[in-house]
Amino acid sequence: MRLPFTRRKPAPSKAERYATATQLQLTWWRFCRHRLAVVSLIVLLLAYTAAIMADFLATTDPHQTNAATSYIEPQAIHWFDNGGFHPFVYGLKGARDMRTFKLSYKVDTSRKVYLDLFAHNYDYSLFGFRTDIHLFGLRNANRNDGIYILGTDQLGRDLWSRLAVATRVSLFIGLVGVSISLFLGVILGGVSAIYGGWIDILVQRMIEVVRSMPTIPLWLGLSAAMPSSWSVTQVYLAITIIISLLSWTDLARTVRGKFLSLREEDFVLAAELAGASQARIIFFHMLPSFTSHIIAAVSLALPAMIISETSLSFLGLGLRPPAISWGVLLQDAQNVQTLVLAPWLLTVAVPVIIVILAFNFLGDGLRDAADPYG
């Protein structure tokens, strides 16, 4: 089979460009040959764009509850109507069967509700501008109509709209969190390796203690300690920080380990002999030679971070309703009645998995690309 990319010498045409290319350019060119990674990158860019535009993508207010639309299963959009392209959905008639106590919805084919692009719905602010324009919406809708692409939850809220908002929350928690822990990790790891001695011991103890703590109790304790008067945003930030406080250790260890092993390497000795300053050695000789490992570690840290938010919100220790995040949405699926009566609530897992996959492939691609042996 064909290699998706390789580290071999370049084609004649490119010869000169390669000869003069910087390490960064080379990395980028190599990365571009890693198809999976490129695809992932695009997926992630899309995901984050969607996250930023969440309210624009939402079709109805993600918080709007309505008993009459409880547990509606995903609804098909019909694209063509009397010959032309007129996307529409049928109205629904819902009732609770008082023998089985199940809600059942019948499609009311007599009533067609048409879709509009850039329809007006609830207000929200995008980049500081207030607007009520949404990517698409319904024209002649009554209170109970909606475009339930992914169905609705118990409170009759549109899952698609909720998912959009949840994505924003969860994706950015991961991003903020990882940058904090990356910072901590590189600084502490580097310092501990370079200065060694008691500093090293101190940092090592810190790492060991933090890592020897099963994280769940830490979480529980800390989240329980959060003043209940805090706003969702405050809780959100606090949680982000907590996650990163618990996950910088891996990065620190990687960095330290690599520093130590590299100190032995000849080229560092050479540089030292050549009288290069320590800083120079670290930043010009050592760091570049293991960016790959840092990138690999980050590529693992980020999804791990997203997962921890998800898991903890799922446990009810992270973000709590009415805040919306992937974890909060999945919490709805924690009981058997949802699994049986509204299995579509599990579809939330799909974007979670896709995004985390993408992050990993991306990280893998970057790792291979940035590899100094290339």
Partner 1 sequence: MAEPLLSVRGLRTHFETPEGTIRAVDDLDFDVFEGRTLGVVGESGCGKSVAARSVLGIVEKPGRVVGGRILLRTHAGDTLDLAALPQDSAAYRAIRGPEIALVFQEPMASFSQYYTIGNQITEAIRLHLRLSRSAARARAIELLDMVGVPQPSRRIDEYPFQLSGGLRQRVMIAMALACDPRILIADEPTTALDVTTQAQILDLLRELQAKRGLAIILITHDMGVIAEMAHDVAVMYLGRAVETGPVADIFAAPAHPYTRALLRSIPTVLAKPRTHLPTIAGSIPMPSARPAGCAFSPRCSEVLGDVCRQTEPPAIGEGARSVRCFLHGGAP
Partner 2 sequence: MITFVVRRLLLAIVTTWLISVLSFAIIQLPPGDFVDTYIAQMAASGSSVSAQAAEAMRKMYGLDRPFYVQYGKWVGRIVHGDFGESMEWRRPVLEVIGDRLWLTVLLAFAALIITWGLALPIGIYSAVRQYSIGDYLFTLVGFVGIAVPNFLLALVLMYFSFRWFGASVGGLFSAKYSLLPWSWGKVWDLMKHLPLPAVVLALGGTAQLVRIMRANLLDELRRPYVVTARAKGLTETRVVLKYPVRAALNPFASNIAYLFPFLVSGSVIISIVLGLPTVGPLLVEALISQDMFLAGSIVLLLGVLTVIGTFISDLVLMWVDPRLRQGMG
Partner 3 sequence: MTTRRQVLGYASALAATAPAGEALAQAVSSSHSNFAQSGLVGHLESATEATAIPASFKEAPMLAELVKQGKLPPVHERLPVEPLVLKPLDAIGRYGGTWRRGFIGPSDGENGNRINASDKLLLWDATGSKIIPNVAKGWDMSKDGKTFTLFLRKGMKWSDGHPYTADDFAFWYEDIYSNRDIVPTPIPDMSPQAKPGRLVKIDETTVQFQFDVPYYLFLDMMAGDTLIGGGQSVQQSIGNCGGAYSPGHYLKQFLPKYSSEAAVNKLAREQGYDNWGRLLAFKKDWELNPELPTLGGWHTVKPINTPTWTMVRNPYFYMVDTAGNQLPYIDNIVMTLAESLEVVNLRAMAGEYDMQERHIDLQKLPIILDNRDRGNYDVHLDLAYNGADTAIQINLSYKDDPEIAKWLHTADFRRALSLGIDRDQMNQTFWLGLGTPGSAVPAEVMPQNPGKEWRTKWSTHDPAQANKMLDALGLTKKDADGYRLRTDNGKRLVLQVEAVAAMLDYPRQMEMVAQQWRKIGIYGDVKQMERGLAFQRIAANQDQINVWTNGGTELMYLFPRHCLPVDPTEAHLGVEIAKWYSSGGKQGMAPTDPELKRALELFRSAAGQQEDERNKTAQEIWKIIVDQQYSIGTVGQSPAQFGVRLVSRKLGNIPSRACIAQHCRTPETSRPETWFFKA
Which spans of this chain sit near partner 1 (rule: CB under 8 A)?
Answer: 3, 6, 8-12, 14-15, 19, 33, 264, 266
| Residue 19 binding result from partner 3, partner 2, partner 1, none, given CB thresholds of 5 to 8 Å by partner type | partner 1
| Residue 102 binding result from partner 3, partner 1, partner 2, none, given CB thresholds of 5 to 8 Å by partner type | partner 3
- Say if residues 301 and 176 touch (Cβ distance below 8 Å): no
Tokens read off for 277: 């300053």
| Residue 23 binding result from partner 3, partner 1, partner 2, none, given CB thresholds of 5 to 8 Å by partner type | none
Cα separation of 75 and 115, whole Å?
Answer: 13
Cα separation of 65 and 48, whole Å?
Answer: 27
Residues that bind partner 2 (CB under 8 A): 1, 3-4, 201, 205, 208-209, 211-218, 220-222, 224-225, 250, 253, 257, 264, 292-293, 296, 300, 303-304, 307, 310-311, 314-315, 330, 333-334, 336, 339-340, 346, 349, 352-354, 356-357, 360-361, 364, 367, 371, 373
**Sheet harboring 129-138: ordered strands across?**
78-81, 84-96, 103-126, 129-138
Nearer to partner 1, 4 or 343 (CB): 4
Residue 362 φ then ψ, to 5° = -55, -50
- State the nearest-atom distance from the C-beta of 5 to partner 1, in Å: 8
| Residue 303 binding result from partner 2, partner 3, partner 1, none, given CB thresholds of 5 to 8 Å by partner type | partner 2
For residue 222, the SS3 value is: helix
Cα separation of 198 and 277, whole Å?
Answer: 23
- On the CB side of 281, CA atoms within 13 Å amount to 20
- State the nearest-atom distance from the C-beta of 286 to partner 2, in Å: 15
Tokens read off for 296: 């690999």
**Could you give the maximum distance between any two Cα atoms of the chain, in Å?**
87
Residue 154 φ then ψ, to 5° = -55, -40
Kindly state whether residue 154 participates in binding partner 3, applying the rule CB under 8 A.
Answer: yes
| Residue 67 binding result from partner 1, partner 2, partner 3, none, given CB thresholds of 5 to 8 Å by partner type | partner 3
Give the one residue of 3, 99, 214, 274 binding partner 3; rule: CB under 8 A.
Answer: 99
The DSSP bridge pattern shows strands 78-81 and 103-126 to be unpaired
- Say if residues 168 and 54 touch (Cβ distance below 8 Å): yes
Contact flags string 101-140 toward partner 3, x per CB under 8 A? xx--------------------x------x----------
- Say if residues 369 and 52 touch (Cβ distance below 8 Å): no
Give the one residue of 83, 228, 233, 274 binding partner 3; rule: CB under 8 A.
Answer: 228
Nearer to partner 1, 202 or 269 (CB): 269
Buried b / exposed e across 13-29, counting CB within 10 Å, b at 16+? eeeeeeeeeeeeebbeb
Binding site for partner 3 (CB under 8 A): 63-68, 70, 95-102, 123, 130, 154-156, 224, 228-229, 231, 316, 320-322, 334-337, 340-341
